[in-house]
Structure 1
Amino acid sequence: MTGLVNNNPWGFPRVLKFMNLEEEYFKEYARVHYVGMEDYDYGKDNNLKLINNTEIQDSGGGTVWRIPYISRWIHEKTTLNHLEYIKSTTNKGYEEIDNGKRYSINCLLFIKKEFWNNIYDKRDKHNEDDEHNCLIYCYNNDKKIISALNVPLVHLFFFTQREENKDLIPIIRDYYSKVINAPYPIAICEDKQLENENRLRHLENVIWQINNRTIKRNIWDFIFSILEDGKHRIITIFGIKITLKK
């Protein structure tokens, strides 16, 4: 079960329709663009391809996933205009999502814990990717994914959008501080310098533990490691994985 997510390949075209934004999108923002995922032939309609500016891809690697300025625009129309977003989705019912299309794992809600144990397949070379595991499990076992269209949700960024749109964080924070009007800050640390100091202090502590052997040596796999399979080289730097095609 999921809601209706604005910055999500499947949810994006439906939000456009409900908020009467289709004309503006196709006139001002749509471009010929790549969608899908390279060397990924699983499910259906998730492979890499070029589509024209009259189309929107709503599956894996879909339109809004690949183009940061479109995600910025939809945040301006929804996240930063929450009353209209909520109003436009009222009484919209529900819709079944095609389980052959790769759906963003971070947007799935209300799933029993056992589900995550069932979807892991140690024989699958992509089994470290929860989103892939969910796709394969639902597609092969005909499990349904249902969107409650009257539950509007906000997803800030995919990794493909983060660097370009990170400046939206303080804007969104200030906006919802006024909306919530709470007598306390809604951010853990609002000062960027203090936040950076906290992160450096955490890294210093990790390094101290390594030098004093108080944590397992496999912390080095977290800091820096290189793994290879037949087609890809996976580099991990401080927990961030970068996949390169050979």
Structure 2
Amino acid sequence: MSNPPSPVPAPIAAILVIGNEILSGRTQDINVQFLARRLGALGIAVREVRVIPDVADTIIGTVNELRARFDHVFTTGGIGPTHDDITSPCVAEAFGVPWEPHDESMRQLEALFGPGEFNAARRRMATLPRGAVPIPNSVSVAPGFTIGNVHVMAGVPRIMQAMFDALEPSLGRFEPVRMVAVHAERLGEGALAEGLEAIQHAHPSLDLGSYPFERPDGRRGVALVAKGTDQAALETARQALRALIAGLGREPIDGEPAP
């Protein structure tokens, strides 16, 4: 049985994607979508996403900036065994603590690789900022870690997802972020803009957006989406979105448009 939502205000989060391979276009990031959805289900709203290179000063400065502004910072990438995997020592520097071998992580990785195979490069993956709490990794053993409000995870999606599964119970559960959507065909954003702005002003606790769509079968139109934690406000906004579309002579259809 899952824990009930906490009565305290919901935290906000930032995601920090670290890696030259993302910025160069060599690798397509899919971790942000996974984290945003899973955090939203916990009631933790993602308010910012950054993508930065494997540059020490940039990592240190960005970690310090974001951890001061957000309740949680989730980083992905840069904790492997190679020379460009510098996230872990940079996070140690950001917190002003030594980067040192973590005894239990060393034992686990040494047992995994065996005598003679646990070389200096692999030892990097068991070297953590002092005081960090390892995030278990059921895929490849090498841990992520949490220090303060910063959660450092792998960039490889299946490993990152395994780490998040292990981390998730410690994050708490708050009123989840919910979404309602209404769409219409043969309707453009320009016709909706003024009315949508008025609905947003009437519901400041919600995030409203409009998203044009075009489907292979020729269907075109726009989807209007409201997100928030107040179920009553979401329902009121949904009705207002439907009325807006109907007032423009189009049929409002609940939900997202079919693919």
TM surpasses 0.5: no
Relative to the length of structure 2, the TM-score reads 0.24
Please tell me whether Structure 1 or Structure 2 has the larger radius of gyration of its CA atoms. Answer: 2
Higher strand share: 2
- TM-score, normalised to structure 1, is 0.25
